[in-house]
Structure 1
Amino acid sequence: MPHIDERETTEAKVLWRPSSPENTQIHDFMTSLNQKHDLSLNDYNALWEWSVSEPAKFWEEIWHYSQIKAHEPYTQVLESNQVLFPRPAFFEGSTLNFAENLLYPANAPDENAVAIIGATEAAREYVSWKELRERVRQCTNALKEAGLETGDRVAGFVGNHANTVVAMLAAASLGAFWTGVSPDTGVHAVLERLAQIEPKVLFADNASLYNGKVHGSHAKVREIVSELPKLEYLVVFESADLVEFSLDEVRPAAGKVVTYGSFLSSVRNEAAPLEFASLRPDHPVYILYSSGTTGAPKPIVHGSLGTLLQHKKEHLFHCDIRPGDRLFYFTTATWMMWHWLVSGLASGATIVLYDGSPFRPFDVEGGKGEMAMPRLIDELQITHFGTSAKYLSMLEQAALNPRKHPHRPVTLKTLRAIFSTGSPLAPSTFEYIYSYIHHDIMLGSITGGTDILSLFCSGCPILPVYKGEIQCRSLGMAVSVFDYAGKDISASGEPGDLVCTTPFPAQPVMFWPPGPTGLEKYRKSYFDMFGHTVWHHGDFVRLNPHTGGVVMLGRSDGVLKPSGVRFGSAEIYNVLLKHFADEVEDSLCVGRRREGIDSDETVVLFVKLAPGDASSMPPDLAGRIQAIIRKELSPRHVPAVIDVCPEIPVTSNGKKVENAVKQILCGLNIKIGASVANASCLDWYRNWAVEHP
């Protein structure tokens, strides 16, 4: 790493330094590498440089240090081909099972220790390692008797609770692919995803608890099931008591509907042991979805070993998570961070699941409930707390000081790290956390994506935290910053596109459907801009050459990420076309986040009214649009600003030019390409940006 100037400037202000870096797992790893390979690695930058210049050696050492449990050994770590597309094979010859590595990690605590803590607004559930294994055994055998086979898809319309983890691990133990969607998602959005992958089994909650209210799922599940003709089993978790859920009314056309209890009790051989399918390292374990900027969300398929290796590397070295630590992330089962959280089991950690509002139970004395999560940290002795940047900014705006709260202050004495992702963490929020939350913790602002189910840039327990910066580029991830011409501008400190130039095992194994169609979707998503040797991620960033830190500037494409929820403009367009075709001729949906001004991204929707309509927004149109989007998709999709525009910028072939408008709204001085067929209309958006500061 370049020498760090000890003089603290506004641009690179040190907020925290590790007190005992020599006691971390990453330091131990670096020491072992020096001894084994006769190296002289003495700081993080030297370790990172070695990890990206020697990818085969690096990932082999990760395999051994993290103690991957395999059925058959590998014959080759990485083929000599160094292009990223087509995806190179890692650890060929080996076989393993993802679920086995989470349920029986080499460093697992005692079987009676707590593996999962499931928390809601009103209750707590403690699941030991022994009980977790037994629950997975029962669910696995029920799925096996239901006819589930390797390669089948299992979906969950479920909350973030222990049964969700059990169902996922049971599916993975058999070699089925798991996909999860949160119950607050609209039916239209659910079907855009599940209809593509045709699940054989669907797990669903009968209801969910949020903000003190029980929300039944019967109506949604009935609609979803009716549009999945190949569904053979609907298994209903009775997650809430006294909720009416008529099983007969939601029966799949091709199969059965049962409660989870009945599903387990119907197993003929109740004593059958838990067996793990022995699978190739690139065998799929998860299906997640792209944001859908150019159509329906694309199913991204992630492999077992790549996911496992990447998560173990991040947990052990970038987070310093150890057996018995308690890892929490505020997430839904849809978000990639749920999968990252669950993998904490593979490092022997206790994972803490929370299903509900982060502001419940309400603080009776304070009235607003901001203390709910800080009190959860104390109650459950959480060591690593993860959340969205939006949540932390809300605490900042409330000027909450949990340790000096006038009613029932907390100590946060077990807390060692806070992780933030989903959107860039504002510099002021960095300072707020160290001033008001805790002065001696690692603040790990992290970034990665659904695309890789892991991180490109992350925290590091042996590096300082600088105001407004992600601490480092992750080990094994050859992250650089390119300009539009493909020139590496990392050392200049100028903003550009985040790219990765060395293969890594967490690359997706495919896009659904398998075959040429999915392969072409995969290529276009990441390798159109700079070719087969460079992964183009779509984030707009800059690298600080003095600190080695990374500053996130938002997305360089049409992906929207308000409050960290990632989705695409096409989902909004589809709803407008379905419900407002007579009133809205065209529309453009972009995100706005200006560096140094906005703490979160604002979704702005411009609508061009149908011919003959007024030139200004009809009184109730914006409200009706927001209401329909909330119903069809989710509350997180609702644009914060809706305004009428005279024209939508398009390319010569009629494609909307979202990026140009986004950059204008964000105040970025980027040249508009000649591909904009009606570039003169962009002046209207420039004026709009000035008039709406």
Structure 2
Amino acid sequence: MSSKQLWQPSSPEKTQIHHFKSVVNRKHGISISSYHDLWNWSVSEPAQFWEEIWHYTSIKAHKPYVQVWEPNAPLFPRPQFFQGSRLNFAENLLFPAGCPDDDTVAIIAATETDREYITWQDLRERVRRCSSALRESGVRIGDRVAGFVGNHANSVVVMLAATCIGACWTGISPDTGVHAVLERLQQVEPKVLFADNASIYNGKLHGMHRKIRDLISELSCLERVVVLETVKSYGFDFNGIDLQHGTVSSYASFLAEIQDRTAPLHFESLVPDHPVYILYSSGTTGPPKPIVHGALGTLLQHKKEHVLHCDIRPGDRLFYFSTTTWMMWHWLVSGLATGATIVLYDGSPLRPLDPEGGKGEMAMPRLIDELNITHFGTSAKYLSILEQAALNPRRHPHRPVTLRSLKAVFSTASPLAPSTFEYIYSTFHPDVLLGSITGGTDILSLFGASCPILPVNKGEIQCRALGMAVTAYDYAGNDIGFSGEPGDLVCTQPFPAQPVMFWPPGPEGAQRYRKSYFDVFGPRVWHHGDFVALNPETGGLIMLGRSDGVLKPAGVRFGSAEIYNIILKHFADEIEDSLCIGRRREGIDTDEMVILFVKLAAASNEFPTTISQDLVARIQAVVRKELSPRHVPGIIDICPEIPLTSNGKKVENAVKQILCGLNIKTGASVANVACLDWYRHWAEKHP
């Protein structure tokens, strides 16, 4: 292996993607040998490729398609895929191909203290009862059903019950503030709201009474509110929880009202683009945009990624640490469609999972061992926390773990630093597939994916996902592809997981859709908003940050992730986190200045007033040596906190606009929004 290669597949011929390649060769009379050959075929013959995905992943349909897609269609307006077919999203998750035995475990739901094992038979029965209750409550095709819920089994049950009927599900995590929830739900007007009675995080109980009361007082669209007994020891007080035109009840009462208790589990037969999920843009600088995803596009993409890119099979156990708000929750739940067991976790990832707990960072490695998780997913931020703690779970002095079941580790939400790649292979296991992946809420799936028949190279996403015509454009719209130069990540061919629309339906939503992705390069090029370089030697992707976080001092473009990687690699003991921003104010600055804010890993809670000039000099010297003189920040200063979204993404754009003197309305998606006031004061003091 080269110095950058950290893993090589030992038995590529045993993977599902290898078998898929053989099927394609035989059916189409071609001789594809490598992954990159397969990718080239998938984007040069997209109709044939997506048709093979339909058959190979065993999409369950009520009516066959008459056409895969219209050749040469632009990305906008969005073309239709598999026209003529009819299907149901929930049915494909509840009755996967090669359906597991009824008594096989479908879901394992874990909290900081409890475990719940749900069989396929039990899951279907729960969905049957909930869908009956929803139908009798008046929920119909096209209605919206919302969840203000944590990552537990009932969240999956009520989502599947809603999508059985043809209602559209939208989920929001219960740690979200009321204002942020209203920003979303007031736009999509759900008919029914499911909410947790309480949640437990890091051992602390958080009751939901006040939040639910405040929410429903502002949501006149609601006809039914159902409170789930998520924390059984918490007695929920229904006093003061009233709907003007509807009913509020417990989940037990909701189910007890069912009139026809023998009604079978029924799946509505729906068109491929029927809305199944509504997710929301980050909303860091304004109201979040509701992004509507269709049933078949979501299903095809997720099954393709799970089966081919992740090699997930029936009997495997798939885990992703996620909230119900994040796209990765939806990606995780689709694991049911492969016949795998999905593992849900509701709680802190750093909370010890047993009375003898020990070091908090061991929580997730212990869960891997306890539940025999085969595919473990999390955020890059969590893995960097473990790296900074120098934790080796297999050599823990008190409670080591074996991680013997682990086949793959997935990381997303932000670029995974090269040093973290090395950390995973030196501490978790030397023979796991480390899949740094990238995509987004916008597509509910991946542009850059893992691949079990390719090597893992330090600091790189292994490949462009099959069927995704990904390349890099420079600022002028030239395809710079595998030049190795950084550019904007774009996709140049339609794909099934494009959003079916933005809410609201009609001209306003269409304008939102177009402006989000097609204003930069036109209707035939999806402009995603990521800054990327494609490695001509490996075919991998190097993520450099968001396009709105691109730094351009003296006209040289580079991504903030390059600076973050340097900080994590060389200053992890001194710096907890960092934020790199380009500042150029209209009419004031002739060039952009790079400003680096660092949050010190201080032993005390006291915030120092000045940064050590020795630390500044050392950072500048390392950046100059490992990157270039043009990468060196013009100003380095300390900050008390880094603004983050609830998924742990750094909120660069809001700070950039503050520093550039723009008057922005910051959306409530910034989890620690109060810290932005510090940056406003900093900007005033540094004119």
- Bin the TM-score by the shorter chain: 0.7 to 0.9
Query: Which of 511, 514, 523 pairs up with 1:523?
Result: 514
Alpha-carbon distance in structure 2 between the residues aligned to 1:646 and 1:270: 57
Alpha-carbon distance in structure 2 between the residues aligned to 1:638 and 1:475: 29
Could you tell me which amino acid in structure 2 is paired with residue 359 of structure 1?
Answer: L
Query: Which of 32, 35, 41 pairs up with 1:41?
Result: 32
Shift of 1:214: 1.0
Shift of 1:626: 9.4
Shift of 1:596: 3.0
Alpha-carbon distance in structure 2 between the residues aligned to 1:448 and 1:320: 18
2:358–2:398 Cα contact (<8 Å) kept: no
**Structure 1 stretches lacking a partner, 5+ long:** 1-5, 560-589, 609-618, 657-683
Could you tell me which amino acid in structure 2 is paired with residue 70 of structure 1?
Answer: A
1:115 equivalent in alignment to 2:106: yes
1:320 equivalent in alignment to 2:297: no
Partner of 2:660: 648
1:604–1:642 Cα contact (<8 Å) kept: no
Partner of 2:167: 176
Shift of the 642–649 alpha-carbon distance from structure 1 to 2, 3 Å rule, reads closer
Shift of 1:278: 0.3
Shift of the 592–28 alpha-carbon distance from structure 1 to 2, 3 Å rule, reads closer
Shift of the 174–45 alpha-carbon distance from structure 1 to 2, 3 Å rule, reads same
Partner of 2:220: 229
- Structure 2 residue matching 1:359: 3-state secondary structure: coil
Could you give the per-residue CA deviations for residues 541-581 of structure 1, whole angstroms, max 9, x where no partner exists? 1000000010011101269xxxxxxxxxxxxxxxxxxxxxx
Q: Which residues of 2 match residues 474-513 of structure 1 at below 5 A?
A: 474-513=465-504
Alpha-carbon distance in structure 2 between the residues aligned to 1:441 and 1:410: 15
Query: Which of 425, 438, 456 pairs up with 1:447?
Result: 438
Partner of 2:19: 28
Could you give the per-residue CA deviations for residues 250-274 of structure 1, whole angstroms, max 9, x where no partner exists? 2222210010011011100111001
Could you tell me which amino acid in structure 2 is paired with residue 547 of structure 1?
Answer: T
Query: Which of 540, 555, 563 pairs up with 1:594?
Result: 563
Q: After the TM superposition, which of the residue ranges 292-301 and 32-41 deviates more from structure 2?
A: 292-301
1:98–1:285 Cα contact (<8 Å) kept: yes
Alpha-carbon distance in structure 2 between the residues aligned to 1:637 and 1:452: 17
1:328–1:352 Cα contact (<8 Å) kept: yes
Partner of 2:629: none
Could you tell me which amino acid in structure 2 is paired with residue 90 of structure 1?
Answer: F
Q: Which residues of 2 match residues 56-205 of structure 1 at below 5 A?
A: 56-205=47-196
1:79–1:89 Cα contact (<8 Å) kept: yes
Shift of the 592–464 alpha-carbon distance from structure 1 to 2, 3 Å rule, reads closer
Q: Which residues of 2 match residues 251-650 of structure 1 at below 5 A?
A: 251-293=242-284, 295-361=286-352, 367-557=358-548, 594-599=563-568, 602=579, 648-649=660-661
Could you tell me which amino acid in structure 2 is paired with residue 25 of structure 1?
Answer: Q
Could you tell me which amino acid in structure 2 is paired with residue 330 of structure 1?
Answer: F
2:361–2:386 Cα contact (<8 Å) kept: yes
Shift of the 646–180 alpha-carbon distance from structure 1 to 2, 3 Å rule, reads closer
Could you give the per-residue CA deviations for residues 88-126 of structure 1, whole angstroms, max 9, x where no partner exists? 000000000000000001122111100000000000000
Alpha-carbon distance in structure 2 between the residues aligned to 1:171 and 1:435: 44
Alpha-carbon distance in structure 2 between the residues aligned to 1:184 and 1:125: 22
Could you tell me which amino acid in structure 2 is paired with residue 248 of structure 1?
Answer: N
Partner of 2:572: none
Alpha-carbon distance in structure 2 between the residues aligned to 1:601 and 1:144: 50
Alpha-carbon distance in structure 2 between the residues aligned to 1:603 and 1:372: 31
- Structure 1 residue matching 2:161: 3-state secondary structure: helix
Shift of 1:380: 0.3
1:120–1:356 Cα contact (<8 Å) kept: yes
**Structure 2 stretches lacking a partner, 5+ long:** 551-558, 569-576, 586-605, 610-638, 666-681
Shift of the 362–307 alpha-carbon distance from structure 1 to 2, 3 Å rule, reads closer
Could you tell me which amino acid in structure 1 is paired with residue 420 of structure 2?
Answer: T
Could you tell me which amino acid in structure 2 is paired with residue 493 of structure 1?
Answer: G
Could you tell me which amino acid in structure 2 is paired with residue 470 of structure 1?
Answer: I
Shift of the 544–64 alpha-carbon distance from structure 1 to 2, 3 Å rule, reads same
Alpha-carbon distance in structure 2 between the residues aligned to 1:318 and 1:473: 10
1:423–1:601 Cα contact (<8 Å) kept: no
- In the superposition, the TM-score normalised over structure 2's length comes to 0.83
Shift of the 333–21 alpha-carbon distance from structure 1 to 2, 3 Å rule, reads same
Alpha-carbon distance in structure 2 between the residues aligned to 1:521 and 1:594: 33
Shift of the 634–336 alpha-carbon distance from structure 1 to 2, 3 Å rule, reads closer
Could you give the per-residue CA deviations for residues 482-515 of structure 1, whole angstroms, max 9, x where no partner exists? 0010001112101010000011000000000000
Q: After the TM superposition, which of the residue ranges 80-89 and 533-542 deviates more from structure 2?
A: 80-89
Shift of 1:365: 6.6
Shift of 1:249: 1.2
Could you give the per-residue CA deviations for residues 39-65 of structure 1, whole angstroms, max 9, x where no partner exists? 100000000000011110000000000
Shift of 1:359: 1.4
